[in-house]
Amino acid sequence: MDLRKKAGGVVAAKGFLAAGVACGLKPSGAPDLALIVSQRPATAAGVFTTNRVCAAPVKVSRDHVKRGALRAIVANSGNANACTGDQGLADARAMAAAVSQRLDVPAEQVGVASTGVIGHPLDMDKVTAGIEAAARRLARSRAAAADVVRAIMTTDTVPKAAAVTARIGRREVTIGGIAKGAGMIAPRMAHATMLCFLSTDAAVETRCLQSSLDDAVERTFNCITVDGDMSTNDTVLLLANGAAGGRPIRLGSPAAARFRQALTSVCDDLARRMVADAEGATKFIEVRVAGAASDADAARVARAIAESPLFKTAMYGEDPNWGRIAAASGYSGARVDERKLRIVLCGTPVVRNGTPLHAPPRQLRAAVKRKNILVEVHLGLGGGRARIYACDLSHKYVDINAHYTT
């Protein structure tokens, strides 16, 4: 499928406006409130954290998405509005209501998201003023695209935006998005791992949109890990407004398959950007597992390796200690036969049939000095496969999270 990258992120698609403003939630004075709006009715899909301790905006957005339509998304950084009780829930609903009043759209068609420190009530005077300011600045411009992504950043060091244009049937459609996430990212969840807002000018039937998002997230965001911690606020929202024209794409059609492919491409781009910008990361690590008894077993092995503190710190120290890979494979809970285990580190075979191959140490040390690390594990037990993007674990990661609130 011919996909062409496009600038603009979440406003790359026709009929979407956005704004990012500073309302005072971040002491630094950086942008901390984002508003994304479809200029016409849009179908909607969403996926959310499976953490049983989930933030108030997750509860509100989950309820709104069930109705199948959203016109706007409002998000703040600097405060997670999590573990804030009934007041937090009222504040999340008030955010939707403020957007509703300002833009004359139903409150139940407003998605809400928050990110930041847990356990502190929102300053709603600041949030409401921010929504007013953002509504006045809504635009489809390069500046708006830049501001809105900065407004959802926390420990991110670079903005994360992506968009592609593709021909589906007789129509050229665009899918774009923005994401934030550098820590509290793990793949062990049903659907989501961070904040991500996606838009498309394709016309897509609601069931098809939700199915497409579920599949795209499972193949991308659920296949990344930074630290193994699941957030209370993970949210992915997708709006499809049909501004490109044409009949709605329906589940099971050839057009649906092409739409899903394009959507997955955008999500994969954003997922890679998140791992590359992980807190304190110096290495981008890809773990590929093949030959497992099932895809689920392959995923267990990949996750065990990618989340092993011993493996991650070894990669930070540029120590080609493949024993960490073998050990994690064995304790992963997957079916593993040591006699069939094969490991390749950065293109160099190190284990075959459970036996070390005594690769030249100098060659291995040179391999793990690279910015990008590839780990390949073959279990020799079936056709199961999995892939996970991960990063190393550095002193800087510890420093960032040791002083996150102080």
Whether 193 is a known active-site residue: answer: yes
Return the closest-CA partner of residue 164 out of 16, 5, 8, 14. Answer: 5
Residue with tokens 């991308």: 220
- Dihedral sign of CA atoms 133, 136, 137, 138 in order: positive
Q: What is the C-alpha to C-alpha distance for residues 222 and 188, in angstroms, rounded to an integer?
A: 7
Return the closest-CA partner of residue 12 out of 133, 165, 131, 127. Answer: 165
Q: Which of 43, 115, 154, 193 is catalytic?
A: 193
Strands (E), 270-371: 284-292, 342-345, 348-352, 355-356
Q: What is the C-alpha to C-alpha distance for residues 164 and 197, in angstroms, rounded to an integer?
A: 15
Q: What is the C-alpha to C-alpha distance for residues 69 and 111, in angstroms, rounded to an integer?
A: 10
Strands (E), 228-326: 235-240, 284-292
- Residues 351-367: b if buried by 16+ CB within 10 A, e if exposed: beeeeeeebeeeebeeb
Return the closest-CA partner of residue 152 out of 191, 187, 182. Answer: 182
Number of other CB atoms surrounding residue 50 within 10 Å: 13
Radius of gyration of the chain (CA): 22
Q: What is the C-alpha to C-alpha distance for residues 118 and 356, in angstroms, rounded to an integer?
A: 47
Active site residues: 193
